[in-house]
């Protein structure tokens, strides 16, 4: 499903700059035009959570790219945690929720699922929308899309007056079965725009035109409440960047123009991690393999994913305990990062995270006022980070302060300092290993058939221990792995993912009818890309959500024909759940991914010059990454670089492959 379109292409002479703004560090990767002969440029700087754009501008200046910015020679792709943090911290805009009469409690009732099935006492559910901010309207559409009660102009006028009186910053419109008949939502939206021209308005038939009123409602409410927050941030960033082209990474792995991203905040919740998986997929194409289990460990959290080909997307993601039905890369996130704080709980049990020291004050060893022991401090105490290493933000490690803080924790535990530090790492590693099992073993995959790959600033410090925990004997730390998500952003394509519910028995629809619906979605995606100035050529990948009749949940399979989709569904169901049967299949959703095909940068190759050197002596021998040469090195060994550190454990060996990646192998 590929078509030709005509639109301007981006200038290939620009410097491509990927920026991943995390909770602790902001990462940068710059690819200069091939004719310049300049190598890949990487950088890290401390994040500025109160104003993320400040860290971005500081990083651009520190990289020596200020003149290029002024001269209009930069093209930026950016992934941000602004939407994620606002959702996690419940700092969205004041949002009115509009729904059908009798459904004001829709978001509070939810699915009534218990987060912990056997817990005798359940924590109180998060209040999504205060009752006074819920507005009900008459009118009703049935499950076939037919109108059974009209929504009159008078009722709309009354609802608009009620909403105006509430003085909202945003409005979320979610009417029953609007994905089949969106006219009532569109009339409400138009009336509200006339009455509240400065208000951010989202309607469910545009945000997520799929069945399941609760999930559609949550997505629409999140989009509305996060919209003003994202809009303010992107407006401030765009103003600071002037006329520099700015694309934003979406949770699904495609990029979108900043002006459009501000209207689709709910699609940005995993924009950073999506970049890392995009880069890993491209790296796999270079290596000739596509089977990876990855973990992206930064300062605040760790994201784990399984790649068996291109990065998979899911429509069952969770953010802040809320279901997010829009497409996002399929990964599992836990609160265990380099800055995660270690402590003893009320029962005296050692815990790590999810609370983090963040960028300020950061780990104790950063010398910025931190007093609570973190995972990074444990590595410093054990000598796994070079004491004189140059860190982002020109920080220098304070080994003495980290050791003193660890001594306090060790005393409370009744052990020595070394044992306490090892305990902190063991707890953090087990939390990550449990997440890896969740996305591999629990889904019918054998980790031994995949290659463990770490990225993020802290990933290389844990890669050997996690490989052993999963009975894996090969691991990979990519070149520029400390900033891989930023690299993935400039390797990603502009694109859209679209969907529509069409619930019907699969046997009742012909291949032609299904393909007509998929073609309509593909055209919508292409039109969106053309309006953005993208895509001389674009390609569309079609898929469908299927289920056995009577099931609540679906599996997504590629679309080629009804016969092939049925076979793929049965095979996937067998692998995931251990059984398959002859029950009739039902098609639920049509899905299309449309991506621009214009000129894309090649995956950057690492430099071939390596100065041979002997490891520096110390508690653990250490080398700079550029000093590894072509020979294999046995652990224990610390490998330092500007953006990350890798610890090669005892019983492991490492060599640099042709692309500059660290290839680790367990010695048998």
What are 96's strand-pairing partners? 171
Q: How far is CA 439 from CA 288, 312, 436, in A?
A: 23, 12, 5
What local confidence, expressed as pLDDT, does residue 47 receive?
A: 86
Name the nearest CA neighbour of 466 among 348, 617, 317, 304: 304
What local confidence, expressed as pLDDT, does residue 575 receive?
A: 87
What does 144-168 look like in DSSP terms, one character per residue? TS-EEE---HHHHHHHHHHHHHH--
Q: pLDDT tens digit string along 197-233? A: 999 999 999 999 999 999 999 999 999 999 999 999 9
How would residue 616 be classed by pLDDT, with cut points 50, 70 and 90? low
Q: How far apart are CA 462 and CA 470, in angstroms?
A: 12
Q: pLDDT tens digit string along 327-342? A: 999 988 888 889 999 9
Q: How far apart are CA 423 and CA 373, in angstroms?
A: 12
How far, rounded to the nearest angstrom, does the alpha carbon of residue 109 sit from its chain's CA centroid? 27
Q: How far is CA 355 from CA 23, 343, 398, 408, 662, in A?
A: 12, 10, 22, 19, 31
Tell me which of 504-518, 523-537, 644-658 is least confident: 523-537
Name the nearest CA neighbour of 536 among 2, 8, 94, 50: 8
Answer yes or no: are the C-beta atoms of 101 and 82 closer than 8 Å: no
Q: How far apart are CA 518 and CA 526, in angstroms?
A: 12
Q: How far apart are CA 619 and CA 437, in angstroms?
A: 33
Burial bucket for residue 539 (CB in 10 Å: 0-12, 13-18, 19+): middle
Q: pLDDT tens digit string along 572-594? A: 999 888 899 889 999 999 999 99
Q: What is the DSSP-derived secondary structure letter of residue 392?
A: G
Name the nearest CA neighbour of 667 among 516, 468, 524, 528: 468
pTM for this predicted structure:
0.86
Q: How far apart are CA 621 and CA 625, in angstroms?
A: 13
Residue tagged 């990454």 (tokens):
625
Q: Write down the mean pLDDT value for the chain.
A: 89
Backbone angles phi, psi at 326, to 5 degrees: -80, 155
How far, rounded to the nearest angstrom, does the alpha carbon of residue 40 sit from its chain's CA centroid? 24
User: Does residue 615 carry a pLDDT above 60?
Assistant: no
What does 200-230 look like in DSSP terms, one character per residue? EEEEHHHH--SS-HHHHHHHHHHHHHHHHHH
Q: How far apart are CA 424 and CA 382, in angstroms?
A: 11
Name the nearest CA neighbour of 294 among 110, 33, 481, 115: 481
Backbone angles phi, psi at 383, to 5 degrees: 80, 20
624 sits in which H/E element = strand 622-624
Q: How far apart are CA 326 and CA 209, in angstroms?
A: 10
Percent of the chain residues past pLDDT 70, beyond the cut: 95
What local confidence, expressed as pLDDT, does residue 533 receive?
A: 83
User: Does residue 563 carry a pLDDT above 90?
Assistant: yes
Q: How far apart are CA 605 and CA 510, in angstroms?
A: 47
Q: How far apart are CA 502 and CA 177, in angstroms?
A: 12
Name the nearest CA neighbour of 457 among 372, 359, 373: 359
Q: pLDDT tens digit string along 429-456? A: 999 999 999 999 998 899 999 999 999 8
Q: How far apart are CA 372 and CA 426, in angstroms?
A: 18
- Length of the chain in terms of residues written: 668
What local confidence, expressed as pLDDT, does residue 393 receive?
A: 62
């Amino acid at each position: 499903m590929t078509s030709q379109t005509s639109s301007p292409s981006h200038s290939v002479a620009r410097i491509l700059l990927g920026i991943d703004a995390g909770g602790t560090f902001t990462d940068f990767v710059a690819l200069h035009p091939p004719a310049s002969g300049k190598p890949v440029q990487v950088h890290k700087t401390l994040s500025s959570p109160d104003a993320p754009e400040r860290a971005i501008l500081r990083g651009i200046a520190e990289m020596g790219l200020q003149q290029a910015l002024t001269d209009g020679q930069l093209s930026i792709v950016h992934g941000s945690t602004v939407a994620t943090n606002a959702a996690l911290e419940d700092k969205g805009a004041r949002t009115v929720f509009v729904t059908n009469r009798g459904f004001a409690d829709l978001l509070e009732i939810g699915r009534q699922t218990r987060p912990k099935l056997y817990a005798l006492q359940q924590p109180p559910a998060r209040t999504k929308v205060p009752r006074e901010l819920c507005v009900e309207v008459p009118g009703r559409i049935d499950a076939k899309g037919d109108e059974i009660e009209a929504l009159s102009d008078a009722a709309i006028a009354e609802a608009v007056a009620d909403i105006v009186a509430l003085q909202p910053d945003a409005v979320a419109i979610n009417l029953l079965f609007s994905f089949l008949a969106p006219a009532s939502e569109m009339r409400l939206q138009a009336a509200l725009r006339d009455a509240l021209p400065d208000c951010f308005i989202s309607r469910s038939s545009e945000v997520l035109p799929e069945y399941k009123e609760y999930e559609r409602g949550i997505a629409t409410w999140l989009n509305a409440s996060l919209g003003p927050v994202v809009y303010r941030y992107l407006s401030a960033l765009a103003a600071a960047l002037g006329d520099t082209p700015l694309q934003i990474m979406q949770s699904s792995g495609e990029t979108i123009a900043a002006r459009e991203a501000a209207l689709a905040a709910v699609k940005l919740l995993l924009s950073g991690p999506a970049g890392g998986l995009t880069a890993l997929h491209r790296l796999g194409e270079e290596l000739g393999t596509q089977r990876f289990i990855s973990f992206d460990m930064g300062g605040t959290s760790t994201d784990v994913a399984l790649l068996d080909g291109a990065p998979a997307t899911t429509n069952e993601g969770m953010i802040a305990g809320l279901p997010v039905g829009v497409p996002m890369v399929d990964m599992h996130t836990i609160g265990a990062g380099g800055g995660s704080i270690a402590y003893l709980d009320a029962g005296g049990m050692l815990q790590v995270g999810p609370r983090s020291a963040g960028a300020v004050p950061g780990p104790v060893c950063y010398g910025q006022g931190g007093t609570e022991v973190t995972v990074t401090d444990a590595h410093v105490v054990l000598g796994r980070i070079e004491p004189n290493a140059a860190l982002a933000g020109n920080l220098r490690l304070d080994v003495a302060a980290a050791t003193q803080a660890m001594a306090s924790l060790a005393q409370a535990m009744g052990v020595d300092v070394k044992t306490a530090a090892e305990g902190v790492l063991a707890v953090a590693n087990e939390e990550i290993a449990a997440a890896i099992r969740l996305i591999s073993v629990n889904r019918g995959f054998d980790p031994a058939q995949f290659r463990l790959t770490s990225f993020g600033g802290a990933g290389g410090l844990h890669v050997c221990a996690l490989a052993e925990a999963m009975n894996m004997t090969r691991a990979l730390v990519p070149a520029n792995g400390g900033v891989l998500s930023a690299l993935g952003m400039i390797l990603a394509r502009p694109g859209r993912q679209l969907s529509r519910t069409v619930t019907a028995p699969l046997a009742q629809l012909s291949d032609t009818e299904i393909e007509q619906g998929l073609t309509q979605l593909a055209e919508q995606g292409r039109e969106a890309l053309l309006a953005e100035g993208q895509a001389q050529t674009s390609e569309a990948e079609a898929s469908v959500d299927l289920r056995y009749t009577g099931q609540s949940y679906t599996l997504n399979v590629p679309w080629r024909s009804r016969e092939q989709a049925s076979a793929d569904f049965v095979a996937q169901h067998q692998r995931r759940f251990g059984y398959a049967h002859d029950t009739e299949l039902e098609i639920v959703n049509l899905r299309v991914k449309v991506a621009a095909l214009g000129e894309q940068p090649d995956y950057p190759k690492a430099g071939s010059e390596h100065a041979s050197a002997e490891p520096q002596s110390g508690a653990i021998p250490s080398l700079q990454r550029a000093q590894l040469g072509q020979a294999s090195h046995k652990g224990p060994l610390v490998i330092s670089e500007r953006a990350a550190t890798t610890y090669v454990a005892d019983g492991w060996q490492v060599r640099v492959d042709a692309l500059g990646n660290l290839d680790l192998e367990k010695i048998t």
